[in-house]
């Protein structure tokens, strides 16, 4: 297997550490068992922390033979990037699911590709729902008894 070597500035290395941490967190956050391929890359990147000048942000847990982010640094990354992503994803997914529900009411269960009419209706529904949610949040969202 061929190997790739990278030359990074300390700042670039720090961004690589952050990217690898966030990517690995995303992949593993919903799993019962860690994805070992991602963990292997994460360990490789974090193991160069002294060369990258990140002694204050990465810790070596000798007893477990792994490197990890300092708890405060990890929390900062999660607060900065994951919270914002979760907030955006929640609203985006809510609009998508509510639109799908309305589309089924209008056109029935989806079968095959959407027609131009269906695509246009979907966009209009998403726009209307998105605007309403931006104006009211979930305070006016209700489920009627049928």
Residue 69, strand partner residues: 58
Q: What is the pLDDT of residue 145?
A: 59
pTM reported for the whole predicted model: 0.72
DSSP element (H, E) containing 87: helix 83-107
- Averaged pLDDT, 92-118: 91
Q: What is the pLDDT of residue 7?
A: 94
CA atoms within 13 A on the CB side of 136: 10
**Could you report the per-residue pLDDT of 32-78, keeping only the tens digit for each?**
999 999 999 999 999 999 999 999 999 999 999 999 999 999 999 99
Q: Is the pLDDT of residue 146 over 60?
A: no
Q: What is the pLDDT of residue 142?
A: 72
Contact at 8 Å (CB) between 58 and 17? yes
Measured in degrees and rounded to the nearest 5, phi and psi for residue 66 equal -135, 165
User: Predicted confidence band at 15 (pLDDT cuts at 50, 70, 90)?
Assistant: very high
Interatomic CA distance for residues 14 and 37, integer angstroms: 21
Contact at 8 Å (CB) between 78 and 84? no
User: Predicted confidence band at 4 (pLDDT cuts at 50, 70, 90)?
Assistant: very high
């Amino acid at each position: 297997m061929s190997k790739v070597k990278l030359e990074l500035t300390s700042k670039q290395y720090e961004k690589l550490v952050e990217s690898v941490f966030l990517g690995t967190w995303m992949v593993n956050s919903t799993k019962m068992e860690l994805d070992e391929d991602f963990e292997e890359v994460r360990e490789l990147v974090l193991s160069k922390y002294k060369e990258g000048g990140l002694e204050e942000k990465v810790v070596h847990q000798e007893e477990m033979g792994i490197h990890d982010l300092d708890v405060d640094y990890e929390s900062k990354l999660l607060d900065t990037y994951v919270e914002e992503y979760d907030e955006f994803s929640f609203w985006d997914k809510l609009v998508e699911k509510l639109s799908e529900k309305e589309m089924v009411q209008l056109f029935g269960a989806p079968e095959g590709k959407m027609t131009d009419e269906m695509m246009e209706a979907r966009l209009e529904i998403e726009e209307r729902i998105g605007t309403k949610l931006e104006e009211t949040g979930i305070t006016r969202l209700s489920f009627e008894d049928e």
